Amino acid sequence: MTTDVTDIAVGAIRTGLLGSGFMARVHSSAARTAGAVLVGIATSSLDRAEAAAATLGVARAEVDADALLAASDIDVVHICTPNATHAPLALAALRAGKHVVCEKPLATDVADARALVEAAAERGVVTAVPFVYRYHPMVREARARVAR
């Protein structure tokens, strides 16, 4: 199930994914549910990106992260890569003027986190680190039991 980018509705959030593992599946589903269109994906190799594009319903595979970040038809980038790569990829995305949704952790030290905050402010883009487990029914039930 791929997306034909010529059929993207005006105003749709055009989304790119970095990474193709479990969290990319979660983010792609959440983005699509929110009305986004999955335009591009990049991962550790073009072969893996092509396989992920086919599996996740992304319009195209990119050769690497740089190509995805340079794409003019992507508004927001979801970073779903190994933890140690989050900060440098988020910084590159911000410098490219992309909005960023970054899986946890955003950074592994305070200096990197501050640099990301500053880069987002300089570019005037929106950034987010999702923390949705608190809304999962099992987590809410566990919290209620502990509170009782």
Please answer whether residues 119 and 96 qualify as being in contact, where contact means their C-beta atoms are separated by less than 8 angstroms: no
**How far are the Cα atoms of 26, 38, 53, 59, 73 from residue 6, in angstroms, in the given order?**
25, 12, 17, 10, 11
Q: For residue 119, how many C-alpha atoms fall within 13 Å in the half-sphere facing its CB? A: 21
Strand partners, 77: 16, 100
Tokens representing 102 are: 């970054």
Catalytic pick from 45, 54, 85, 104?
104
Question: What are the C-alpha distances in Å from 21 to residues 53, 72, 99?
Answer: 12, 25, 21
Q: How far apart are CA 50 and CA 20, in angstroms?
A: 10
Question: What whole-number distance in Å separates Cα of residue 66 and Cα of residue 113?
Answer: 21
Catalytic: 104? yes
| Catalytic sites, residue numbers | 104
